[in-house]
Amino acid sequence: MIMRFFMLLFMVGVSSFSQAQNYTTKRVYSCDFSSADDLKDWVMEGPGVASLQDGQLLLHSKYYEVANAWFEENGQPFSGLGENYYDDVEAAMRNDIGESVRDYYAGGIFRGGHLVFWNKFKTPDNYIIECDFQSLSENALHMLMFSCTGNEGQDVFDEDLKKRWGVAAQYTKSDLYNYRISFFAPGRGGV
């Protein structure tokens, strides 16, 4: 998965549900990825690579080339489940990190090689996210997670929360609450 990303956050002022269509906005965060300093607002989990190119954030797994080579060699479409290319990614990760690859298992099955790139900005209660997104890979599932806290209201970076390495279940079935939008999975036919 390689993607380009740009983000703006706007605070929304709504005094009641009946007035929801009459809201005001004020920009509370913006990141145009024009300099390396912009990456200081972000934290990588999992074996991800973040770089900047022409004012755009480029993200990909350190193991993107391994997975992509599998797709090119086998000519199978991306299912979003990883069952077909995970053996190759696991072997590459085992070569890099040895037995620590066991951290990338969920339910006894290898699920590694993915990444999560968190923004450290604390959002207000009501806000709008505006971003530009472009996937540069046909073999990808992308998720935008936001308003994330620990299940007891902790900051997402609280050291008392379970360690995370980019494995989806660590974000969706563990000690975090968040909203998530899944999008762009062309080989899957949907999300």
Q: How many separate domains does the chain show?
A: 1
Around Cβ 141, how many Cβ atoms within 10 Å? Answer: 21
pLDDT band at 3 (very low <50, low <70, confident <90, very high): very low
- 79 versus 176: the higher-pLDDT residue is 176
List the structure tokens of 146.
């936001």
Residue 26's domain spans which residues? 2-188
Asked whether the predicted pLDDT for residue 190 surpasses 60, the reply is no
- 103 versus 130: the higher-pLDDT residue is 103
Could you give the C-alpha distances from 88 to 70, 85, 141, 176, in angstroms and in order? 8, 6, 18, 30
Contact 41, 34 (CB under 8 A): no
Q: Which residue has the tokens 């900005």?
A: 121
Q: What is the pLDDT of residues 122-173, one digit of tens each?
A: 888 888 888 888 877 777 777 888 889 999 999 999 999 999 988 888 888 8
Task: Report the helix count and the strand count for the chain, using DSSP H and E.
Answer: 3, 11
pLDDT the model gives residue 21: 63
Asked whether the predicted pLDDT for residue 182 surpasses 80, the reply is no
Sign of the alpha-carbon dihedral angle for 175, 181, 184, 189? positive
pLDDT the model gives residue 2: 43
Please choose, from the candidates 167, 174, 179, 144, the residue with its C-alpha nearest in 3D space to the C-alpha of residue 82. Answer: 167
Contact 61, 114 (CB under 8 A): yes
- 1 versus 96: the higher-pLDDT residue is 96
List the structure tokens of 39.
């990456």
Q: What is the pLDDT of residues 42-85, one digit of tens each?
A: 999 999 999 998 888 888 899 988 988 888 888 776 666 666 78
